[in-house]
Chains A and B, each alone.
Chain A
């Protein structure tokens, strides 16, 4: 099956700075790459996604970049705020029914 590696596992940033989380995937046929944010006591929330025919996508302070050749994609959060503190999961589709394989998650802590 698909293998999705996510790093670093924990990231602490000063409020206002940028945060970058990187993921690599193994299945070259993967064509859909969502990012989820999970706050304490809540379910994961889709925050942005990208398909394999696009190299970059931006939504306000959040952007995702995809490098198909290298099989990695990254989440960029600019001007971080305390409410950005959460666990972030990357995922990649695989298989004939495009099910999702999740990375292990990244704890982002924004220090006020």
Chain B
């Protein structure tokens, strides 16, 4: 299995809702990432997990809460989001945290209404 699987593919949520994005990989990768991508822009790093521990938080607002239950799973919990948080949320993984190629999922298209 050489894929990163993200669910759901599309999500529409109200500003008072709580939802979660899920990411799964079975490549034995020990680093996992959350990125946010706006239209016609490059991916922006949000969080990095290395060996299931949070290594990097790019000063992301607390309404985004990451979780890494095990080495194959990565979640992003969403609460009280704003319309400007609407974007494509990408999960990625790599062999380890370091100079290695990332495998990206297809993303979750999030719309906040």
Contact = CB atoms under 8 A, between A and B. Distances in A.
Q: Name the prevailing secondary structure of the B interface residues.
A: loop
Interface in B26-57: 40-43, 45, 48, 50, 55-56
**Secondary structure dominating the interface of A:** strand
Contacts, number: 54
B98 A97 contact: yes
Interface residues of B, number: 23
Contact of B101 (A42, A46, A89, A102): A46
A7 B36 CA distance: 22
14 contacts: A31-B99, A43-B104, A46-B101, A89-B43, A97-B48, A97-B97, A98-B97, A98-B99, A99-B56, A100-B45, A102-B42, A102-B43, A103-B42, A104-B41
Interface in A65-112: 89, 93, 97-100, 102-105
